[in-house]
Structure 1
Amino acid sequence: MSESQGRFIGKTIAITGAAHGIGAATARRFLTEGGRVAVIDREGDGFEEYRSAFPADRLMVVVGDCTDASVLADFHDRAVAAFGPVDILFNNVGQSGRERAAHFHESEEEVWRFVLEVSLLTTMRLSRLVVPAMRERGGRIVNMSSDAAFVGDAGLTDYAAAKMGIVGFTRSLARELAPFGVTVNTVAPGAIRTRAHDRLTPTVIKTIKATTPAGYIAEPEDVAGCVAFLASQEARYVTGQTLLIDGGRWMI
C-alpha cells in the first residue's frame, strides 16, 4: 500500500520526542498518510523543519519536557481536545546518558535515574493516559526500545536496563489490552543517522558499520516505516512483539 492511499485518515496520533530524528520522520510519515498528529518535544525549534509542510488543522505542536508528568498530562489533554481520543501512541522519547555515560563501576545513580525517567517512565506515564479510552475504542501503542538492550553494549548499562524494561512493559500491557482490540509493540533500532550519531567519531562509526551485517547506518525514515506498519490495520494480529531494526546486528 502506498503512502498516498491514506491509511491513517481520521486517526489521532500522539508522538513524543518528535522535533528531530526518528520522531520527526515518523510524524511526517503519519501526516503524509492522512493522520492528525500531536507532537511534543522540549526543543521547539526542530518542528519548523516540517511544520510548514502540513496543514495546521492536522498538526498540533507542544513544546515541553516529557519527563514532567504534568506536561505529559497537558499534552494528552490538548491532543484530545484538538483531534479526539488518541488512536495511535508512539512513545519515542528517550536517550542514553550520552556525555555522562560510563562503565558501570564509574557510573552515577543520578544518571541512571535520568535515563530510566526519560526512556521508561515517560513511556509508562503517557500509555497510562491513553489506555482508558483505548480500552473502549481499540488502538495502537508503539514503544521505543533499542538493540542495545539485546546486545548489551558496554558503557550503556543504565540505557540497556531502561530499554529492556520497555520490552517487558510492552509484553505485559499487550496481554492486558489484547481483549480490547489494542495492540502494543516495540521497535528496537540499532545505528540510525540521528543527531546523536553525528556526535560519534569516525572510528566509532567505522566500528558500527563493521559490526552490522548490512554494512551501513540507516535513516530515521527506515524506522518510521516500521512504526507506521505496526500502527496500521495490516498489523492487527501483531502484539507484544519487539521488532529490531538494526541491519542484522542482533537476530532473534
Structure 2
Amino acid sequence: MTTSTETTSAPSRRRTVLVTGGNRGIGLAIARRFQAQGDAVVIMSRSGEDVEGIPAVTGDVTNSESVDAAFAKAAQIAGGPIEVVVANAGIADDGLLMRMSDASFENVVDTNLAGAFRCARAASTGMIRRKGGRIIFVSSVVGLFGSAGQTNYSASKAGLVGLARSIARELGGRGITANVVAPGFIETDMTAALPEERQAAYKATIPAGRFAQPDEVAAAVAFLASDDSAYINGAVIPVDGGLGMGH
C-alpha cells in the first residue's frame, strides 16, 4: 500500500525548502511531503532539533536577527538560497474580547503575522536574484470565517491574506508567487484529546463530516510550490472540508 507522499509527482528539479514550525503537526507533515519529493528540506523551530531525519535550524520568528540567521544557516544546510518558504509557525492564546489583554493580542499577531512577514522578507532577496520563488503562508479557516474567543488568532490569520496578496503584486513580475493555505479542523493529538461529543459537534458543522489529515494540508502546500502552480498568485486555498465555503 502506497502513501500519499509516495504518489506525489516529483518536482522537475531538487529545490531548497524551509518550513517554519516544522517540528510537529501540520508543519512536520509538510516537511515530510517535500522531502519525499526529493527536495532539500530544512525545518525551523525554537529548539532547532532535527526531527526524524530532517535537519533543523534554531529560529524565533518574533526576532528579525534570529530569522535572518536561521535562513542563512538553512541555506548552508540545503546547499543554496531558500527557494520555497512555508510560513507555518504559529501560536494561539484564546480569550473573550472583553478580557483579552494587550499582551495576548500582540504576542499572537507578532508570531503569526509579523513572523510570517519576517520570513518572507528574509527569503525575498535571494528569490529576487534568482527571479523565482514560492512563498506559502499557512492561515486558518477562522482567519476568514471568524471565531468567537479568538479575535487575536483570527486577526493574525486574516492578515496573512493581505500580506500574500501585497507580496504577489510587488514581486509577481519577478517569478515569485505568494499564496495562502487555510486549513480547517485537522486530525491532531489536540483534536483527538477532545471529548467525543465535542468532536461530533464540530464534525456536524463540516460538510465533509470529518477532520482533515495533516498530509491533506501538506498536499495543497506542495501543489502551490510546484511548477503546475506557476500562474497561481495571491490565492487562498481552503482545506477545510467545506466549513468556510470559500470565505
- Whether TM exceeds 0.5 here: the answer is yes
- Residue 81 of structure 1 aligns to a residue whose secondary structure is helix
1:80 aligns with 2:75: yes
Q: Name the structure 1 match of 2:186.
A: 192
- Residue 238 of structure 2 aligns to a residue whose secondary structure is strand
1:41 aligns with 2:42: no
Q: Name the structure 2 match of 1:56.
A: none
Q: CA deviation at 1:193?
A: 1.5
Distance 1:250 1:20 in 2: 25
Distance 2:156 2:27 in 1: 19
Deviates more, 1:187-196 or 1:142-151: 187-196
Considering fraction of residues, name the structure with more helix. 1
RMSD over aligned Cα, in angstroms?
1.8
- Residue 18 of structure 2 aligns to a residue whose secondary structure is strand
TM-score, with length taken from structure 1: 0.89
Q: Cα–Cα, structure 1 residues 43 and 211, in superposed 2: closer, same or farther, change >3 Å? A: farther
2:214 to 208, 212, 220: 220
Q: Name the structure 2 match of 1:130.
A: 123
Check conservation: 1:27, 1:37, Cα contact below 8 A: yes
Structure 1: state its 5+ residue gaps: 52-58
1:93 aligns with 2:97: no
Q: Which runs of 4+ in 1 moved over 6 A?
A: none
Residues 1-252 of structure 1: matches in 2 within 5 Å? 3=7, 5-7=9-11, 9-43=13-47, 47-48=50-51, 50-51=52-53, 59-82=54-77, 83-97=79-93, 101-137=94-130, 138-252=132-246
- Residue 17 of structure 2 aligns to a residue whose secondary structure is strand
Q: Name the structure 2 match of 1:55.
A: none
Distance 1:70 1:157 in 2: 28
TM-score, with length taken from structure 2: 0.91
Check conservation: 2:58, 2:70, Cα contact below 8 A: no
- Residue 11 of structure 2 aligns to a residue whose secondary structure is coil
Q: CA deviation at 1:119?
A: 0.4
- Residue 129 of structure 1 aligns to a residue whose secondary structure is helix
Q: CA deviation at 1:186?
A: 0.2
- Residue 13 of structure 1 aligns to a residue whose secondary structure is strand
Distance 2:192 2:63 in 1: 27
Structure 2: state its 5+ residue gaps: none
Q: CA deviation at 1:144?
A: 1.0
Distance 2:184 2:151 in 1: 16
Deviates more, 1:179-188 or 1:5-14: 5-14
